Structure 1
Amino acid sequence: MSDQLYNLTPVQMGAATALMGIGLLAACLLTMGQWLIHRRRLATVFLSSVGILLAFYTWAFATVFIHSQTGIFLLKDRNMGWFVVVCLVLGAATMGTNYRYAEMPLLVTLTPAMPPFVTAGGVWILLTSGALTTSWLCVQVWRDWQLLHSELSPFSVKGALDRLEHGVTFANFRGRSKFANVAMEGLLGRLGLTSLTNIGTLERQLCQFRFETKSSQAGSDSPNCWEANEDGTSQLRIKEPDGRTWVLTQSRIRDGRRSWIQLLAVDVSDYMTLSYRLSAEIDALQARQKRLVRETSRLDEALSRRLILSTRSTIHDTLSQRISFVHRFLEDEVSDDERLRRLQGLLEDLPSELSKDRVTATPEIWLETLQDLASAAELELHISGDLPPQADKARMFTEVLREAITNVLIHTTSNEMEVRLGQDASSFWMEVSNPSTVETTLTYGTGLSNLESRLEALGGSLSVYTTPRFTLRARLPR
């Protein structure tokens, strides 16, 4: 074959050398693509053999072009020509893979380069085979270039991951790093670390940048600073020297029979800043709310005191007027029935008189006011026990006491009165009595009848005794 090459003109030799060089470059590019991108082992070996074959012919044409007889002699071109058979055998081994559709034309173009065909047809058979092989290799390079830009591939996935603002890295089950995007490399670089470190060692190194919170300070003595979650992942919050905060999440993912460790880093600096601002706003709102509650309490207390004073003044004035009428009737020592009915009417319409101004008085106010006014009427009132906790029942007992005071002033000459309040397992009770006897006939008029009806409406009862001492007994269920 060497003698045949020397029969070519320098222009033909230069063109053949360039053609073989282009084919060699294309074969090298495809070999790297099959290994780095598609991960096809057999296709990589086959294309490597094609690259070796084209490298031989490139060197052969180059040495002839520069008139180097020694180079051709040492290369033993006849033996190297049979390497085409090796290429064809490796190509046949890849026919069961996905690469068979791309390599079938390549096997056809390589077949004429076998020594029998070259010996029979001359160097032009070799040049034609080389031209077709180089052309098809260039077509495959162009096709792979288009695939990198239009279809999903490891490079396109890496390009997409590099565009993420979050950091991500993958390692195999032994902890060896397989991939880290730009954001993760930048984060680790600013921390003085590298993604080439074993993932277990890297996780321990990241603990020194842990962002301390109140909850994490309590468990700072723990050897593992990563917080485990229920879903099997673990998290760690770290802080960069420049103040940026990241949340790292470590999880395990499976790809068929293989297991991978994924480490994801999310920049939460903006969220932390917003959280601090919201926390400050909430604290300020809570402080203002507490001040508002204090001011409202003071205002309610002032209004309550003013309302109590106004209510007690109204009750006091009204009752004083009624008691002055009672004293006048008693001082006249006239006890005809007409005057007694008028006197009783003055005392019985007291609640309606007090409700004209819609004054709300608590039972405690009524009790204190009745005690004060009893003293003003020279009636010594002794009260023991407490009113029921329910407001309606306590108010009902004050009505009983008011009616009892009315009857004592009208029907007796007593100047003292005893009031006992208590409760048992089933009811609250109130007993009002005085040591005097009834001097006038006691009848169930409007006051007592109305009082008895109201007690029965609440499920209670009223009992009146005139001997041996005047006594009113009222009961209300608990």
Structure 2
Amino acid sequence: MSTLLFSLSLGQLATGTALMIIGSLAACLLTMSQWFIHRRAIATGFLVSVTILLSFYTWAFAITIIHSQAGIFILNDHHFGWFVLVCLGLGAIGVGRTYRYTLLPLMIALLFLLPPVINLGGVWVVLTAGAFSTSWLCVQVWREWQLLMHDLSPFSVKEALDRLEHGVLFSDSRGHNKLVNLRMERLLSSLNLSPLTRYGTLGKQLRQLATDKIVIGDSYSTPAKSEAEVSENTSFRIDDSQGKTWILRRTQISDKHRYFTQLIALDVTNYMTLSQKLSDEINDLQARQKRLAKETVRLEKALTSNLVLQTRCSIHDVLSQRISFVHRFLEDGVADGERLLQLQRLLANLPTDLTHNRQQIPASVWLNSLQTLASAVKLDLQIEGQLPTDEHKAHLFLRVLREAITNVLIHTTATEMQVKLGQDTQKYCLEISNPGTVSSPVSYGTGLSGLEARLEAAGGCLQVLTIPIFTLKAYLPKPR
């Protein structure tokens, strides 16, 4: 074989050296993939032997190029042939196993690199076998790269974990960190901690930095768990230097007879912000509820007062009217049977009138009823104009008229009343007057006070004049 090497031309030696260098690098990459990714011991041993074999050829070609014989034949042809046979034996053991590459083409190429085959075939056998084995190794490297990019492997798992929004750390039972994703590394870095620290020490450092501790039940429990391990099965809230809030959750997982620690870091900054906003909204809502409760109590009091006022006014209107009619009957001293019958009807209908809802009866009907009652007591009621078309305002004017009739019958000796209803562009007007003499001073009792309050509540007003004659004037605004 030594004679064959020194018989090669400079170009053939350079070609052989380049092929062996490329093949050695490819074999090294495949060796690392089998050991670190696939964890296949036999395939790793076979590829290591291929790497050594190609490295020896590279060394031999390179030394021959510089015309040196030093150290070329530490392994002579006989011993080197046995090494190739051992390499082929390792490959044969792996042929029956399931690998992601084919061993037979490489074994055939290695067979042609045996010293006896090289001596028989010559220089072209060496170059052809070297070119074939190097090409095959490069193709396998390309296939491994494709599998690494598209198939599931520890590297793809690491890449997938690095894409998570949350931090992940796995450590074995001895506390060695086996896997730490990028987000967890950044979190530990912001806390001035190192992911290379054993988990026992790292866990203590994290508990010291915790701002809050939340006890949560274990997802996995070992038969002989110490108190320290039990106390560590909790969730911690930690604030980093960037103002983010994290919840760290430690759990234990089992794989056959081995136990691993899993540490998950969840970024809950947005949730904490929303929780604070929700808490503020709840506090604001509770404050509004308290204010609403106070306003409700105040409104109930106001409604109760208003209801009492309405009841008092209604009772006053009905009773005062009936009393005024009875008073006029008694003053006249009339014993006419028909008028006495009218008086009996007024008194008999008193309970019904007290409970009757006046707003349900049209104002025009009440006006006719007042005219009928006035004629019964010999009161000449002269009405000019029309009531407002708005029923509510018309009923307010009727209350004023009813109160005026009551006052005339009780406090004066008049036998006639003049009622003028009118309106302009802005308001409705009611004017009631009588030429009688007022027998007692005019005072604002329940009747006039209630009327004034009702009119003011509707945006109007009430005026009482005694000179030159007794006159009531009421005004209500028109709707805009």
| TM-score by shorter chain over 0.5 | yes
Whether the aligned pair in 2 keeps the contact of 1:250 and 1:262 (CA below 8 Å) is yes
Q: Secondary structure at the match of 2:30?
A: helix
- Hey, what's the Cα distance between the residues in 1 that align with 2:62 and 2:249? 58
1:54-453 to 2 correspondence within 5 Å? 54-99=54-99, 101-212=101-212, 225=213, 227-229=215-217, 234-254=234-254, 259-315=259-315, 318=318, 346=347, 350=351, 353-357=354-358
What amino acid maps onto 1:356 in structure 2? N
CA distance 1:230–1:349, shift in 2 (3 Å) = farther
- Hey, what's the Cα distance between the residues in 2 that align with 1:90 and 1:66? 34
What amino acid maps onto 1:198 in structure 2? R
What amino acid maps onto 2:351 in structure 1? L
- Hey, what's the Cα distance between the residues in 2 that align with 1:181 and 1:282? 38
Q: Secondary structure at the match of 2:164?
A: coil
Whether the aligned pair in 2 keeps the contact of 1:226 and 1:235 (CA below 8 Å) is yes
CA distance 1:100–1:117, shift in 2 (3 Å) = farther
- Hey, what's the Cα distance between the residues in 2 that align with 1:169 and 1:96? 38
- Hey, what's the Cα distance between the residues in 2 that align with 1:171 and 1:100? 30
- Hey, what's the Cα distance between the residues in 1 that align with 2:298 and 2:36? 79
Deviations 1:119-166 (A, max 9, x none): 433444333322221111111011112222232322222222222232
CA distance 1:180–1:107, shift in 2 (3 Å) = same
Q: Which residue of 1 aligns with 2:442?
A: none
- Hey, what's the Cα distance between the residues in 1 that align with 2:150 and 2:279? 48
Whether the aligned pair in 1 keeps the contact of 2:315 and 2:354 (CA below 8 Å) is no
| Shift, 1:116, TM fit | 2.9
CA distance 1:230–1:22, shift in 2 (3 Å) = closer
Q: Secondary structure at the match of 1:70?
A: coil
- Hey, what's the Cα distance between the residues in 1 that align with 2:155 and 2:218? 34
| Shift, 1:244, TM fit | 0.9
- Hey, what's the Cα distance between the residues in 1 that align with 2:247 and 2:107? 54
CA distance 1:346–1:178, shift in 2 (3 Å) = same
CA distance 1:210–1:327, shift in 2 (3 Å) = farther
Q: Which residue of 2 aligns with 1:18?
A: 18
Q: Which residue of 2 aligns with 1:395?
A: none
| Shift, 1:240, TM fit | 0.9
- Hey, what's the Cα distance between the residues in 2 that align with 1:312 and 1:103? 112
| Shift, 1:106, TM fit | 1.3
The farther-off stretch of 305-314 and 12-21 is: 305-314
Deviations 1:175-223 (A, max 9, x none): 32111111110110110112222334322321222234xxxxxxxxxxx
What amino acid maps onto 2:357 in structure 1? K
Deviations 1:86-129 (A, max 9, x none): 11111122233222752222112111222332343344433332
CA distance 1:73–1:106, shift in 2 (3 Å) = closer
Whether the aligned pair in 1 keeps the contact of 2:28 and 2:51 (CA below 8 Å) is yes
Where do 5+ consecutive residues of structure 2 fail to align?
221-232, 334-339, 361-480
- Hey, what's the Cα distance between the residues in 1 that align with 2:193 and 2:214? 18
- Hey, what's the Cα distance between the residues in 2 that align with 1:101 and 1:73? 33
1:38 has 2:26 as partner: no
CA distance 1:230–1:144, shift in 2 (3 Å) = closer
What amino acid maps onto 1:30 in structure 2? L
Whether the aligned pair in 2 keeps the contact of 1:247 and 1:265 (CA below 8 Å) is yes
Q: Secondary structure at the match of 2:72?
A: helix
CA distance 1:270–1:152, shift in 2 (3 Å) = same
What amino acid maps onto 1:264 in structure 2? I
Say what the alpha-carbon RMSD is for the aligned residues. 3.5
Q: Secondary structure at the match of 1:72?
A: coil
Q: Which residue of 2 aligns with 1:373?
A: none
- Hey, what's the Cα distance between the residues in 1 that align with 2:306 and 2:285? 31
- Hey, what's the Cα distance between the residues in 1 that align with 2:244 and 2:183? 13
| Shift, 1:313, TM fit | 4.7
The farther-off stretch of 239-248 and 200-209 is: 200-209
Q: Secondary structure at the match of 1:265?
A: strand
Whether the aligned pair in 1 keeps the contact of 2:322 and 2:347 (CA below 8 Å) is yes
Whether the aligned pair in 2 keeps the contact of 1:326 and 1:343 (CA below 8 Å) is no
CA distance 1:297–1:43, shift in 2 (3 Å) = same
Identity of matched residues, %: 54
Whether the aligned pair in 1 keeps the contact of 2:101 and 2:140 (CA below 8 Å) is no
- Hey, what's the Cα distance between the residues in 2 that align with 1:198 and 1:57? 45
- Hey, what's the Cα distance between the residues in 2 that align with 1:179 and 1:47? 27
| Shift, 1:77, TM fit | 4.8
CA distance 1:23–1:288, shift in 2 (3 Å) = same
TM-score relative to the length of structure 2: 0.63
CA distance 1:358–1:176, shift in 2 (3 Å) = farther
Deviations 1:7-38 (A, max 9, x none): 11122111111111111011001001111222
- Hey, what's the Cα distance between the residues in 2 that align with 1:146 and 1:118? 35
| Shift, 1:345, TM fit | 9.2
- Hey, what's the Cα distance between the residues in 2 that align with 1:117 and 1:257? 51
CA distance 1:231–1:75, shift in 2 (3 Å) = closer
- Hey, what's the Cα distance between the residues in 2 that align with 1:303 and 1:115? 117
- Hey, what's the Cα distance between the residues in 1 that align with 2:175 and 2:356? 86
| Shift, 1:324, TM fit | 9.8
Whether the aligned pair in 2 keeps the contact of 1:244 and 1:269 (CA below 8 Å) is yes
Where do 5+ consecutive residues of structure 1 fail to align?
213-224, 333-338, 360-478
Aligned length: 344
- Hey, what's the Cα distance between the residues in 1 that align with 2:195 and 2:50? 36
- Hey, what's the Cα distance between the residues in 2 that align with 1:174 and 1:66? 53
Deviations 1:308-354 (A, max 9, x none): 2332453466567779999999xx9xxxxxx99x9799468515533
What amino acid maps onto 1:228 in structure 2? I
